[in-house]
Chains A and B, each alone.
Chain A
Amino acid sequence: MDDSQAIRHKNLLFAALGDLIRQKLRSWVVIFCLTAILFPLVTALGISEGLKFQAEIAVREGADLYVSGELYGGNGPVSLSHMEPLASLPSISRVAARVVGRTYFVDRLVAVVGLDEESLLALKSLVQGEVPRVRGGVVVGEGIAKAFGVRPGPGMRFTLSANNRKVFVPTGTLSPSCLWGSDILIMHFEDANEFFRITSLASHYLLYENPGSGNALSEVMEALKERGFLRFGERQEFEEMLQAGYGHRDGIFVVLFVIGAALAMPAFLVTLGFGLRELQKEIGLLKAIGWKTKDVLEKVLLQNLMICLAALCLSILLSMAWIKGLNGALIAQFYIAEVGLFPDLEVPSRYVPFHALFLLGFSLVVTLPGCFLSTWKKTKMPPRALIG
Chain B
Amino acid sequence: MNPVIKTENISKWYHPGRRDEVRAVDDVSLEIFENTSVVLYGPSGSGKTTLLGLIGTIDRPTGGRIFLYGQNVTLFSDLELSRIRRETIGLVFQSFHLFSGMSAWENVSHPLIPTGTRGKERFERAAALLERLGLGDRLHHSPEELSGGQQQRVAIARALVNNPKILIADEPTSNIDEDSVRTLLDLLEELKNEGKTIIISSHDPVFRSHGDVLFNLNRGRLEGIHHPKR
Q: Which residues of B contact A380 (CB under 8 A)?
A: 78
Top 3 closest A-B pairs, CB basis?
A290-B86, A4-B116, A295-B114
Please measure, in the bound complex, the distance between the C-alpha atom of A101 and the C-alpha atom of B159, giving whole angstroms. 83
Set B83, B99, B119: member contacting A285, Cβ < 8 A: B99
Q: Say yes or no: is B125 at the interface (Cβ < 8 Å to chain A).
A: no
Chain B positions within 8 Å of A291 at CB level: 82, 86, 111, 113-114
Q: How would residues 284 to 325 of chain A score, 1 for a CB under 8 Å from any chain B CB and 0 otherwise?
A: 111111111101000000000000000000000000000000
> A288 to B116, Cβ gap below 8 A?
no
C-alpha gap A8/B60 in the complex (Å): 29
Contact (Cβ within 8 A) B102 A22: yes
Q: Is the CB of A15 within 8 A of B85?
A: no
Instruction: Determine if A290 and B53 form an interchain contact, defined as CB atoms under 8 angstroms apart.
Output: no
Is the pair A12, B59 in contact by a Cβ cutoff of 8 Å?
A: no
Minimum Cβ distance to chain A for residue B39 (Å): 20
Q: Mark B66-103, 1 if CB is under 8 A from A, else 0.
A: 00000000000011001101110001010001011110
Q: Say whether A263 faces chain B, with CB atoms less than 8 Å apart.
A: no
> B-side interface residues toward A, CB under 8 Å?
53, 56, 58-60, 78-79, 82-83, 85-87, 91, 93, 97, 99-102, 106, 110-111, 113-119, 122, 158-159, 162
Task: Check if B97 sits within 8 Å of A292, measured CB to CB.
Answer: no
Please determine whether B97 and A281 come into contact, CB atoms closer than 8 angstroms: yes
Contact across chains for B58 and A383 when beta carbons are under 8 A apart? yes
Residues of A within 8 A of B102 (CB): 18, 22
Tell whether, in the assembled complex, residue A11 and residue B87 are in contact, meaning their CB atoms are under 8 Å apart.
no
Task: Please pick, from B56, B114, B158, the residue contacting A12 in the complex, using a CB distance under 8 A.
Answer: B114
Majority SS of interface residues in chain B? helix
Q: Across the interface, do B114 and A11 meet the contact criterion of CB distance under 8 Å?
A: yes
* 4 more CB-based (< 8 A) A-B contacts, given A8-B116, A289-B111, A290-B114: A290-B85, A291-B82, A382-B58, A385-B59
**Residues of chain A contacted by B86 (CB below 8 angstroms):** 289-292
Q: Quick check: B113 and A11 within 8 Å, CB to CB?
A: yes
Instruction: Check B85–A289 contact: CB distance below 8 A.
Output: yes
A7 in the interface (beta carbon within 8 A): yes
Query: Is there a chain B Cβ closer than 8 Å to A133's Cβ?
Result: no
The listed residue (A5, A11, A18) touching B117 by CB distance below 8 A is A11
Assembled-state Cα–Cα distance A333/B159 (Å): 62
A291 to B78 CA separation, bound complex (whole angstroms): 11
What's the Cα separation between A10 and B80 when bound, in Å?
Answer: 24
Confirm or deny: A14 has a beta carbon within 8 angstroms of a beta carbon on chain B.
Answer: yes
Q: A384-B59, A385-B59 are in contact. Are A290 and B118 (CB under 8 A)?
A: no
Sample 12 A-B pairs with CB under 8 A, ordered by A number. Answer: A8-B115, A15-B113, A22-B102, A288-B56, A289-B86, A289-B159, A290-B82, A290-B83, A292-B82, A382-B53, A387-B58, A387-B97
State in angstroms the CA–CA spacing of A268 and B110 once bound together: 30
> Complex formed: what's the CA distance from A8 to B119 in Å?
10
Contact B116 A289 (CB under 8 A): no
Task: Please determine whether B60 and A382 come into contact, CB atoms closer than 8 angstroms.
Answer: yes
Least CB distance, A26 to chain B, in whole angstroms: 12
Contact present for A387 and B93 (CB under 8 Å): yes
Q: How far is the CA of A18 from the CA of B86 in the complex (A)?
A: 22
Residues of A within 8 A of B60 (CB): 382
Chain A residues with Cβ below 8 Å from B78 are 293, 379-380
Contact B91 A289 (CB under 8 A): yes
Residues of B within 8 A of A288 (CB): 56, 58, 85, 91, 93
Bound CA span A18–B142, Å? 14
A141-B192 Cα distance, complex, nearest whole Å: 89
Q: Which residues of A contact B79 (CB under 8 A)?
A: 292-293
Q: Chain B residue with minimal CB distance to A6? A: B116
- The yes or no answer to A282 lying at the interface (CB within 8 A) is yes
State whether A292 touches B114 (Cβ < 8 A). yes
> Which listed residue (B83, B106, B110) contacts A289, Cβ 8 A?
B110
Within 8 Å CB of A290, what residues of B?
Answer: 82-83, 85-87, 111, 114, 162
User: Which of A18, A281, A282, A382 is most buried by chain B, counting CB atoms within 10 A of its CB?
Assistant: A382
**Are B117 and A7 neighbours in the complex by a CB distance under 8 Å?**
yes
- A287 and B82: CB pair below 8 A? yes
User: Which residues of A lie under 8 Å from residue B111 when comparing CB positions?
Assistant: 289-291
**What is the bound-complex CA distance between A60 and B100, given in angstroms?**
60
**CA gap between A22 and B106 in the complex, in Å:** 12
Q: In chain A, what residue has the closest Cβ to B80?
A: A292
The closest CB in chain A to the CB of B106 belongs to A18
Checking A7, A11, A12, A287 against B58 with a beta-carbon cut-off of 8 angstroms, the contacting residue is: A287
Query: Please, which residue of chain A has its CB at the minimum distance from the CB of B162?
Result: A290
- Please, how many angstroms separate the alpha-carbon atoms of A382 and B93 in the complex? 15
Residue of B nearest to A284 (CB): B58
Closest chain-A Cβ to B129's Cβ sits at a distance in Å of: 14
Best-surrounded residue of A7, A11, A281, A290 (most CB of chain B within 10 A): A290
Query: Once the chains bind, are A384 and B53 in contact (CB under 8 Å)?
Result: yes
Give every chain A residue within 8 A of B117 (Cβ-Cβ).
Answer: 7, 11
Tell me which residues across on chain B come within 8 A of A387, comparing CB atoms. 58, 93, 97
A285 near B116 with CB under 8 A, answer no
Which residues does chain B contribute within 8 Å of A8, judged by CB atoms?
A: 113-116
Across the two chains, which residue of chain B brings its CB closest to A287? B82
Interface centre among B56, B83, B101 (most CB of A within 10 A): B101
What is the minimal beta-carbon distance from A333 to any residue of chain B, in angstroms? 46
CB distance from A244 to the nearest CB of B (A): 50
Query: What residue in chain B is nearest A10 (Cβ atoms)?
Result: B119
Known: A281-B97, A382-B59. A289 touches B158 (CB 8 A): yes
For residue B93, which residue of chain A has the nearest CB?
A387
- C-alpha gap A190/B86 in the complex (Å): 88
Chain A: CB-nearest residue to B114: A295
